[in-house]
A and B are shown apart, each in its own frame.
Chain A
Amino acid sequence: MFRYLPEQASEVAPRIDWLHNLITDISVFFTVVICGAMLYFAFRYRKRDGVDHETPQIRGSNLLEVIWTVVPTIICCYIAYYGVMIYKDMVAFKKDAVVINAVGRQWAWDFEYENGKKTNNEFAVPVGKPVKLILSSTDVLHSFFIPAMRVKKDAVPGMFTSLSFTPVKTGEYTSFCTEYCGKDHSAMLATLKVLPEAEYERWLNDRTDELLAAAMSPVELGKKLYAEKGCNACHSLDGAKIIGPSFLKLYGQERECESGNTFTADEEYLRDSILNPRHEIVKGYPAQLMPVFEGQLDEREVKGLVAFIRSLDGSAPVVEEVAQEEEVAVVDPSTLSPEERGKWIYENKLCITCHTLDGSRLVGPSFKNAYGRQGKLADGSDYEANDEYITESLRNPGAKVVEGYAPAMPPYGAGQLSDDDIAGLIAWMKTVK
């Protein structure tokens, strides 16, 4: 009864859950017995016809008092003992642990590995090996919580704390900040990737992203981020209005906002619009749609994006260049199996910018368990995500938008996706669980 705990992805999780479920069973048992007795008495001994019947003056019973003092004491000792013993194992020192520094700041996590590799809001560990996170904070209290691993510890400025776990399952897991830390406390999530040993080694030693990013000019960095962070889902480079304003010739324009204020799209305006987009919305564009990037981008990255937008003055054909880069893939998708072809399309036709595979929501619904999903459309009618529905959603996405989502997806005509492409995509989506 009442088994809602998340999946067990660490060595200690089954033991914690055993104790947890034991407490649940004991609690339910006593609640049912005591409240059942109360209701039974209320019925059995109810006052009838508005007249009190005779009652015995029973003031108490020493025997009963002893019983219901001793029995709960024994149960409590048993639970407390196992609570402490399991905790001891959770915090025990493990010699061969992978040690990672995790630094909390408002509102992001920075990770640093022993070989110097640095990541932001995402970190990887090898499956089956003990992991120790050394936590600290540069500003206020934070707390690092990975539900699937059953671990949590506060990150306290001015001291080191740590948490340990041994992952036993590969996969992606979300971590939450669980100590209130100000405005974007609820957005301070990070992703933990548990990888097979060899893949982890490759990941750990792959520093190309960092090195490339460090060597890039601001404009190049901005261009890279434009694709990586999903700006391209809503902001075109060719003047077309997708959801947000196009970046083409944006820099230096006068923008009139919903508030009535007018801004020149200069460095400061762009910076503010990236970090706190809900501040001032340009007239005619939807509010609340763009994600907040405060804490997601560092100073250099913001400068890069601003420089990139400034560079789009129409003098150079950036559009083709970016488009070409995406077409560079040497793979010929028609040679792949349907599932592989679907996955290739997902990664290369921009589906990935709006649809996740882990159940989280970006612009569009996640593909996790999407095939066969049933629900309501924006117009209130029902839908089931079968072959027909998915095909129509690709060809003419505006027709049947799922309730709660913006009609933001671009249509994919036969020129962009063949019928075989779509068949592959559907075959692959069935495998995304």
Chain B
Amino acid sequence: MSAHAATAEGENYLNWQKGIWSWITSTDHKRIGLMYLFSLVTFFIIGGMAALVMRLELAQPGAQFLDPNQYNVMFTLHGAIMIFLFIVPGIPAVLGNFLLPLMIGAQDVAFPRLNLMSYYVYLLGAVMALIALLNPIDTGWTFYAPYSMQTATGVTLMTAAAFVLGFSSILTGLNFIVTVHKLRCPGMTWHRMPVFVWATYATAVIQTLATPVVGMTLVLLLVERYFGIGVFDPKLGGDPVLFEHLFWFYSHPVVYIMVLPAFGIVGEIIPVFSRKPLFGYHMVCYATLGIAVVGFLVWAHHMFVAGISDGSAMYFSIITFGVAIPTAIKVFNWVSTMYKGSISLTTPMLYAMAFVFLFMIAGTTGIYLATLAVDVFYHDTYFVVAHFHYTIQGGAVIGLIAGLHFWFPKITGKMYNEHVSKVAFLLVFVGFNLTFLPQFVLGMEGMPRRYFDYLPQFAPMHELSTIGAFINGFGYTFALVNLLWSWAFGKRKAEKNPYDSLSLEWKCDSPPIHLNFETVPTVDDYPYAYGTPVEGGGH
């Protein structure tokens, strides 16, 4: 890579080419990241609306304004859109695309045109999914056979959509793996890479290895549906439990696709605002890889009561505890980073700290579900719903929002309104906990999930949860409007490096020029060497 011709004053990736055509055909990783961002936010809003409709229906026992079929369609819509169109592409597609090359001192990803193609494959898959979902489908996002064979025909199209979306995921993963291996700038050794790069790398490995299983499942579904060869449907001699195995073999690792990058974001934010090195950097990186590997071996903990043998239930229970340990290591390291720091409670830092708290709850409630005898009680209750939302919304979504605030100056060249963003943070935090803490109680009381109606004993907690959901939704709206408004009308221009970060992405302009760096950067230490060197400060 050689330095390219000097860029004109004031020119950056947002304005160096103009017009819609220059955006939709752009191979610039930063522009592609933004295109993903706007697509994802759109789907997040649709999925969120579906969630609010569900919560409104569940506010009180009995039918409010939906019938059971409409409710079932609503939770399928919410689950499928949020999972497949929003949070699986999620952080890697938006912030991974934008930041990965910047953080390792590269001009772009390894295959820029493939990157653009990934986006359009994603868009095609999204359109297919929407057509399938509006059919409508009422199977839940898990599409369990044989119900999914008997109900709406949209399921085949939806699986086809998941297959196409999967390709986008695989291509992005492949692109990132090659980028990290081949395009690091001089001096950027593996042990000098930011933890967000480590997390994105580990995610890319999972994307590339787990996603092909969706393709296999689709082929088997098609063979069954059109050739009548029994694979999953017992009427044809198939086995519905096999479908669950294949589904979770992909869908469990997917949870780590969603949440590992959020770990990376938190690992970037805490050191900067504590003015301290990330505590135990090496352990944090290895823990990331550890979670990625163990994540492949635990899928059947979703199936303890599904009719698998007692022996495999015991095996999967024990292995699942293997996820708890690297996760615990990360949490200890994040908190230790703050020790003796100089801490600024900026909005990204507040989100990062909220993440630690929410993830403690997500992680410890995961222990109940890993424990075989206890999970028998909790499986398919609201406890699982709450646990899942603490990991994915409390983890991945809060992580994404933390990251969007943190890198907002770099992405847009503007500063956001700090006061408004803190109010939005408070609404999100309070609303989120008010939505999902009561759902843990519901689970303890034995309330099953995916219920259109419930016994009166469950009513108080459902009502609280509904109130929380609306506060939460209002908080997200507030945060989003604040960011968009600050971008469009904000007066405060961002400096190159407003937080005095040592990471490479802050060495280029805000916003960066088209090819990121004027000259090829070099590094001689990891990006967390904050503070005054002391004796016995570790390696």
Decide: A76 and B325 in contact? CB cutoff 8 A. yes
Min CB gap B189→A, angstroms: 16
Stretch from B65-73, B88-96, B107-115 that touches the partner = B65-73
Give A73-96 interface residues, CB cut-off 8 Å to B.
73, 76-77, 79-80, 82-84, 86-88, 90-91
Q: A55-B342, A57-B531, A61-B538 are in contact. Are A23 and B275 (CB under 8 A)?
A: no
Decide: A6 and B317 in contact? CB cutoff 8 A. no
Interface string of A32-66 (1 = CB under 8 A from B): 00110111011001110000111111111110110
Question: Which one of A31, A37, A87 lies within 8 Å of B313 (CB-CB)?
Answer: A87
Residues in A whose Cβ lies below 8 Å from that of B239? 158-159
Residues in A whose Cβ lies below 8 Å from that of B144? 140-141, 179-180
Residues in B whose Cβ lies below 8 Å from that of A185? 68, 72, 450-452
Min CB gap B276→A, angstroms: 5
Give B340-387 interface residues, CB cut-off 8 Å to A.
340-345, 353, 356-357, 360-361, 364-365, 367-368, 370-377, 379-381
| Interface pairs (13), CB distance under 8 Å | A31-B361, A35-B360, A58-B531, A83-B372, A87-B317, A139-B146, A140-B147, A141-B146, A147-B445, A178-B380, A186-B454, A187-B453, A288-B62
Given contact pairs A23-B368, A83-B374, enumerate 16 new A-B contacts (beta carbons under 8 Å): A2-B441, A4-B441, A12-B373, A23-B367, A26-B364, A38-B335, A46-B344, A47-B342, A56-B276, A87-B376, A147-B445, A153-B307, A158-B239, A158-B240, A159-B241, A184-B68
Question: Which one of A19, A30, A139 lies within 8 Å of B364 (CB-CB)?
Answer: A30
Residues in B whose Cβ lies below 8 Å from that of A183? 68-69, 72, 138
Decide: A27 and B367 in contact? CB cutoff 8 A. yes
Stretch from B40-48, B215-223, B277-285 that touches the partner = B277-285
- The yes or no answer to B490 lying at the interface (CB within 8 A) is no
Residues in B whose Cβ lies below 8 Å from that of A90? 373, 376
Decide: A42 and B376 in contact? CB cutoff 8 A. no
- The yes or no answer to A143 lying at the interface (CB within 8 A) is yes
Give A138-166 interface residues, CB cut-off 8 Å to B.
139-141, 143, 145, 147, 150-154, 156-159, 161
Residues in B whose Cβ lies below 8 Å from that of A59? 277, 279-281, 528, 537-539
Min CB gap B33→A, angstroms: 30
Cα distance A144–B329 in the bound complex, in angstroms: 38
Give B413-454 interface residues, CB cut-off 8 Å to A.
440-441, 444-446, 448-454
Decide: B530 and A57 in contact? CB cutoff 8 A. yes
Best-buried of B282, B324, B332 by chain A (most CB within 10 Å): B332
Decide: A58 and B282 in contact? CB cutoff 8 A. no
Decide: B328 and A58 in contact? CB cutoff 8 A. no
Best-buried of B72, B151, B310, B328 by chain A (most CB within 10 Å): B328
Mark A residues whose CB is within 8 Å of B: 2, 4-6, 12, 15-16, 19-20, 23, 26-27, 30-31, 34-35, 37-39, 41-42, 45-47, 52-62, 64-65, 68-69, 72-73, 76-77, 79-80, 82-84, 86-88, 90-91, 139-141, 143, 145, 147, 150-154, 156-159, 161, 174, 176-187, 278, 288, 359-361, 366, 404
Residues in B whose Cβ lies below 8 Å from that of A41? 335, 338-339, 341, 343
Question: Which one of B151, B353, B456 lies within 8 Å of A38 (CB-CB)?
Answer: B353
Decide: A55 and B325 in contact? CB cutoff 8 A. no
Question: Which one of A46, A61, A64, A72 lies within 8 Å of B328 (CB-CB)?
Answer: A72
Nearest-neighbor residue (CB-CB) of A4 within chain B: B444
Question: Which one of A34, A152, A184 lies within 8 Å of B377 (CB-CB)?
Answer: A152
Cα distance A46–B452 in the bound complex, in angstroms: 48
Q: A72-B325, A158-B240 are in contact. Are A58 and B305 (CB under 8 A)?
A: no
Give B384-408 interface residues, CB cut-off 8 Å to A.
none
- The yes or no answer to B63 lying at the interface (CB within 8 A) is yes
Decide: B305 and A143 in contact? CB cutoff 8 A. yes
Cα distance A87–B312 in the bound complex, in angstroms: 12
Residues in A whose Cβ lies below 8 Å from that of B365? 27
Residues in A whose Cβ lies below 8 Å from that of B345? 42, 46
Decide: A359 and B380 in contact? CB cutoff 8 A. no
The number of residue pairs between A and B whose CB atoms lie closer than 8 Å in the complex comes to 300
Mark B residues whose CB is within 8 Å of A: 60-63, 67-69, 72, 138-140, 142, 144, 146-147, 150-151, 234-235, 238-241, 274-277, 279-283, 305-307, 310, 313-314, 317-318, 321, 324-325, 328-329, 331-333, 335-336, 338-345, 353, 356-357, 360-361, 364-365, 367-368, 370-377, 379-381, 440-441, 444-446, 448-457, 528-534, 537-539
Decide: B340 and A45 in contact? CB cutoff 8 A. yes
Cα distance A136–B341 in the bound complex, in angstroms: 60
Q: A87-B376, A361-B455 are in contact. Are A80 and B370 (CB under 8 A)?
A: yes
Residues in A whose Cβ lies below 8 Å from that of B317? 80, 83-84, 87
Min CB gap A19→B, angstroms: 6
Min CB gap B461→A, angstroms: 9
Min CB gap A183→B, angstroms: 5
Cα distance A315–B363 in the bound complex, in angstroms: 70
Min CB gap A133→B, angstroms: 13
Decide: B371 and A23 in contact? CB cutoff 8 A. yes
Residues in A whose Cβ lies below 8 Å from that of B446? 6, 145, 147, 176
Question: Which one of A5, A16, A34, A157 lies within 8 Å of B234 (CB-CB)?
Answer: A157
Min CB gap A318→B, angstroms: 32
Decide: A58 and B277 in contact? CB cutoff 8 A. yes
Decide: A58 and B373 in contact? CB cutoff 8 A. no
Nearest-neighbor residue (CB-CB) of B75 within chain A: A180
Q: A84-B372, A185-B452 are in contact. Are A55 and B335 (CB under 8 A)?
A: no
Residues in B whose Cβ lies below 8 Å from that of A47? 342-344
Residues in A whose Cβ lies below 8 Å from that of B538? 58-62
Question: Which one of A65, A69, A79, A84 lies within 8 Å of B314 (CB-CB)?
Answer: A84
Cα distance A65–B72 in the bound complex, in angstroms: 47
Question: Which one of B138, B324, B331 lies within 8 Å of A76 (CB-CB)?
Answer: B324
Residues in B whose Cβ lies below 8 Å from that of A359? 455-457
Decide: B448 and A145 in contact? CB cutoff 8 A. yes
Decide: A140 and B146 in contact? CB cutoff 8 A. yes
Decide: B380 and A143 in contact? CB cutoff 8 A. yes
Cα distance A328–B338 in the bound complex, in angstroms: 80
Q: A5-B444, A58-B277 are in contact. Are A182 and B379 (CB under 8 A)?
A: no
Decide: B306 and A154 in contact? CB cutoff 8 A. yes
Decide: A56 and B318 in contact? CB cutoff 8 A. no
Cα distance A76–B449 in the bound complex, in angstroms: 27
Cα distance A156–B368 in the bound complex, in angstroms: 25
Decide: B325 and A79 in contact? CB cutoff 8 A. no
